[in-house]
Amino acid sequence: MDPSSPPVVLFDGLCNLCEGSVLFIIKRDPSAVFRFASLQSKFGQGLLERFQLPKDDFDTMVLVEGERVFKRSTAALRVAKRLRFPWPLFYAFILVPPFLRNFFYRIIARNRYRWFGKKEACLIPTPALRARFLD
């Protein structure tokens, strides 16, 4: 990816919580800074391979900013930092050690299908949102 290209959020395309998170970001990102791709998509799989990340681990959010990759709670906090107020305030949690933040992140990730459900197919964006999705 070109360092000047927009940041890309990779998400589990079958997870209801993850889809809800993408829609949450879109509503609070009026400048359309972020682009999106499912971890299962050809584009997502290509990025995972490029950054030497597991291609079969869909229980994490991945944020790609140029040549930098962030996962789990760090990715979520970096996204929040660029959303409309008040969400950037949550970036203060970056001061909490990652092992502690990710402990809670993993609990949610491990139970996301049970608590929020699972889809049979990835999100199909509306024509208005299509430009924000890659692949």
Instruction: For 65-124, write each residue's pLDDT tens digit.
Output: 999 999 999 999 999 999 999 999 999 999 999 999 999 999 988 888 889 888 776 666
Question: Burial of 77 by CB count in 10 Å (0-12 exposed, 13-18 middle, 19+ buried)?
Answer: buried
Rounded to whole angstroms, how far apart are CA atoms 45 and 60? Answer: 13
| Consecutive H or E run containing 62 | strand 62-65
Which amino acid does the sequence have at 100? L
Confidence of residue 13 (pLDDT cuts 50, 70, 90): confident
